[in-house]
Structure 1
Amino acid sequence: MTHRVKTHAGMLPQCRPLEWLDHADVRVSVEGRASGQGRSGVAHSRGERGFGLRYLARKGSLFWSLKAVFVLDKTGKPLMPCSEKRARLLLSRGRARIHRRLPFVIRLVDRLQADCALQPLAIKIDPGSKVTGMALVRQDGNRIAVLSLIELAHRGAAIKKALQQRASFRRRRRSANLRHRAPRFDNRTRPEGWLPPSLRHRVESTMNWVNRLRRWTPVDSLAVERVKFDTQKMQNPDISGVEYQQGELADFEVREYLLEKWGRQCAYCGIESVPLEVEHIVARSNGGSDRVSNLTLACRCCNRKKGQLPIEQFLKRKPELLKQILAKSKRPLRDAAAVNVTRNALFMALLATGLPVETGSGAQTKFNRKRLGIPKTHALDAACVGSVASIEAWQRPTLMIKATGRGEYQRTRLTANGFPRGYLTRQKRHFGFQTGDQVKAVINKGKKSGSYQGRVAVRASGSFNIQTPTGVIQGISHKHCTLIQRADGYGYSFNPTIANDKGEARLAA
């Protein structure tokens, strides 16, 4: 029996049902295709291979090499995503038009949403301070299949730096022009729920992509990582004091934080892949506390050698390492504070969409990821948010989105001392291009011969720079550039997620 899905002529062919996405079936498919046979063991031609899902076997792991293509009907309403092969067939036969390049969206010219079958889709979000992971999944109860993975890099640090620079400019002008100015702090009122621009950007950029995915796909539910219930109080209503403050997961959370902070290696010798112990920089017998800033990681050997010795004496022959450890131990919890401040604002914004919102804790996300043997990335963490029984098709390329902004009002560049070192043109577009456009440049001869595609930075002279996945190509003439997509404030690139034998994730260029 073949696993081929036949749909009505008026329906867009959909992906395989969830109950067929089991590892045994996929493994048979790989072996059959390696011998030139199909899922039923019968040889077939390349054009008859189902919906174009190509499975690759490498080191015993299976990979979905295709990216999901978003589909709209002829009136712009979202349909179920399809595979790359299906999109190519629709475009080559004139049944679809390209609606958008990045992410790739096509629009059918002969179908309406009412004529196509839709399945329940959900957007899962793992909010972060610097990078937010998002996953578009198809749901069947607690079983999900991943359709698209996204990692959104925020620019909160750049916004904060720009605001601090603007404040310093204004402060200098006021002090130069006014010898005395009455304080006005009490006159400045902030509305309820106000967030600094650098934090508000994280919420708004995340919601921007949630709304975009809702325009391109028939999403009917959302899920976000957020602590909603007081589980300690639910399990033990009489809990109080230090026991309530620490809880059952206190040591677990501290260990995970230390592993991320110190790079999962011994702080003293740098050894990896060995059991690590929590080490007090200032020993408790010498007055040290259990604060996170006084904790580090050490292997058993280094932990015993240090013992109760002061760290200055233990590392007296390694002054550079001592300086690094002391500086790293005092690292502020800025990122954790940003997530704590914005999580409620993001949750309220998701509720305002009118869709049902599922919440989950960070411990639940990690439990799902460990139980299912999924490597850790921001996007895959998002797929593990909430109640999850199984996850299929998670080995997909991740769309890396970087918030770049739409330009700035500042018309000069500054030196290290704050003096202007040049003036920027007020004209935003040159030769039909502006900074941030996605372009393709084909050069047939010369030192820079080749084909380049990426984000362009324009100059009035016509000599552009193109940011490609491998680096910046400088000095490309505007005559060689072809516009792919207008700037929308984001940069795009794809990184396939590949898991090695140890279950660790790495990004392959």
Structure 2
Amino acid sequence: MTWVNRFRRLAPVGRIVQELVRFDLQLMENPEISGVEYQQGALQGYEVREYLLEKWGRTCAYCGAKHVPLEVEHIQPRSKGGSDRVSNLTIACHSCNQAKGNGDIRDFLSGQPDVLSRLLRQAKSPLNDAAAVNSTRWALFNALKATGVPVTTGTGGQTKFNRLRLNLPKAHWLDAACVGDVESLDIVTSKPLLILAKGHGTRRMCGTNKYGFPTRHRSRKQIHNGFQTGDIVTATVTAGKKIGSYVGRVLCRASGSFDMTTASGRVTGINHKYCQPIHRKDGYAYA
């Protein structure tokens, strides 16, 4: 919500699209909800396949093979009364899928009772993370609606479908642009601004070792030589062993010898006199 409000101050935001649920399980389980067009379309196929890959851990349900092409498989064959519901679907490698064919699952796994028992039990259990819309997502949705800006929602399968249809590479920022109903996209950059929430420090009064025992006192003073930990600075070092230019978040010390977290790693022992502020601490890191 912090960033929604910031963007609204910078530009006239006319619509917000949120990926509310990862998988549209209602539509997958109840074909009558939205009609044949959705259920037999390409989007429904992406929803089902992604759900099954997550549910079965991206491994063959029969032999446990990983990192091989996996196919959607009916546990109870359709020719013997099996349905297309996700509770009757699993994923299998090509060899196992062909070997089982349209035979009964109990006959196919008659010599592996443990595998049969696990498979039938897992088939009936929902993927909890995908089946439940948790309170955090609904809280965000309600907070977005309270802004007064029109809010629409999309699903995880729909996002992937849009990204592949538009022939875009896998990346979080492109996934975000593909949420909801997307006809086309104009990509104007290959280097998006990456924003990471870092918090505002700690309230601990002392530093501890890995076992939790106190080892050092932590000063209440946060600002040292005009800087505080979390500021983004540029430092051009002209003398000593650290000669060079650096940009990153600074970790301040009362001694005036700072550490910097840069894109290439952490640099220690940067004197404060070489530092110039770019962006004051606001709880976020940028790259």
Q: Structure 1 unaligned runs (5+)? A: 1-206, 240-247, 280-290, 312-332, 494-509
Q: Please state how far the C-alpha of 1:278 moved relative to its aligned partner.
A: 7.5
In 1, Cα distance between equivalents of 2:239 and 2:65:
51
Paired residue for 2:15, among 221, 229, 238?
221
Structure 1 residue aligned with 2:272? 478
Tell me, yes or no, if the aligned pair for 1:224 and 1:357 is still in contact at 8 Å. Answer: yes
The verdict on how the C-alpha distance between 1:298 and 1:468 changes in structure 2, with shifts beyond 3 A counting, is farther
**Residue 220 of structure 1 contacts residue 355 of structure 1 at CA under 8 Å; is this kept in 2?**
yes
Relative to the length of structure 1, the TM-score reads 0.41
Tell me how far apart the structure 1 counterparts of residues 178 and 48 of structure 2 sit (CA, whole Å): 23
- Structure 1 residue 398: Cα displacement: 1.9
Q: Deviations over 1:177-231 (max 9, x none)?
A: xxxxxxxxxxxxxxxxxxxxxxxxxxxxxx1111111111121211112258954
> Residue 157 of structure 2 aligns with which residue?
363
Aligned with 1:342 (options 114, 120, 136):
136
**Mapped partners of 1:445, 1:371: distance in 2:** 54
Letter in 2 for 1:485: H
State the distance in 2 between where 1:461 and 1:344 align: 47
Alignment of 1:371-390 (within 5 A): 371-390=165-184
Give 1:254 deviation, angstroms.
3.1
Residue of structure 1 in register with 2:52 after alignment: 255
Shift of 1:416: 3.8
Give the Cα–Cα distance (whole angstroms) in 2 for the partners of residues 433 and 365 of structure 1: 42
Instruction: Output aligned runs, 1:460-499, within 5 Å.
Output: 460-493=254-287
Shift in CA distance, 217/474, structure 1 to aligned 2, threshold 3 Å: same
Cα distance in 1, alignment partners of residues 139 and 2 from structure 2: 14
Q: State the AA in 1 paired with 2:226.
A: G
Whole-angstrom CA distance in 2 between matches of 1:367 and 1:394? 21
- Per-residue deviation, 1:361: 2.1
1:187-226 residue pairs with structure 2 within 5 A?
207-226=1-20
Aligned identity (percent) is 46
Whole-Å separation in 2 of the counterparts to 1:337 and 1:255: 12
Using a 3 Å threshold, how does the CA distance of structure 1 residues 490 and 299 change in structure 2: closer, same or farther?
Answer: farther
SS in 2 for 1:392: coil
Moved more, 440-449 or 333-342: 333-342
Counterpart among 22, 32, 38 of residue 236 in structure 1: 32
**One-letter code aligned to 1:481:** C
In 2 relative to 1, CA 342–409 (structure 1 residues): closer, same or farther, beyond 3 Å?
A: same
Structure 2 residue 201 is matched with structure 1 residue 407: yes
Equivalent residue pairs, number: 237
**Aligned-pair Cα RMSD in Å:** 3.8
Q: Give the Cα–Cα distance (whole angstroms) in 1 for the partners of residues 269 and 128 of structure 2.
A: 39
SS, match of residue 199 in structure 2:
coil
- CA distance, structure 2, for counterparts of residue 430 and residue 453 of structure 1: 19
Is contact 1:258–1:296 with CA below 8 Å preserved after alignment? no
Counterpart residue number, 1:133:
none
Give how far 1:414 is off: 2.4
After superposition, the Cα gap between the structure-2 partners of 1:299 and 1:233, relative to the gap in structure 1 and judged at 3 Å, is: closer
In structure 2, list runs of 5 or more residues that go unmatched.
36-43, 74-85, 100-108, 115-126
- Report deviation, 1:489: 0.4
Cα pair 1:437 1:487 within 8 Å, conserved: yes
1:430 is matched by which residue type in structure 2?
H
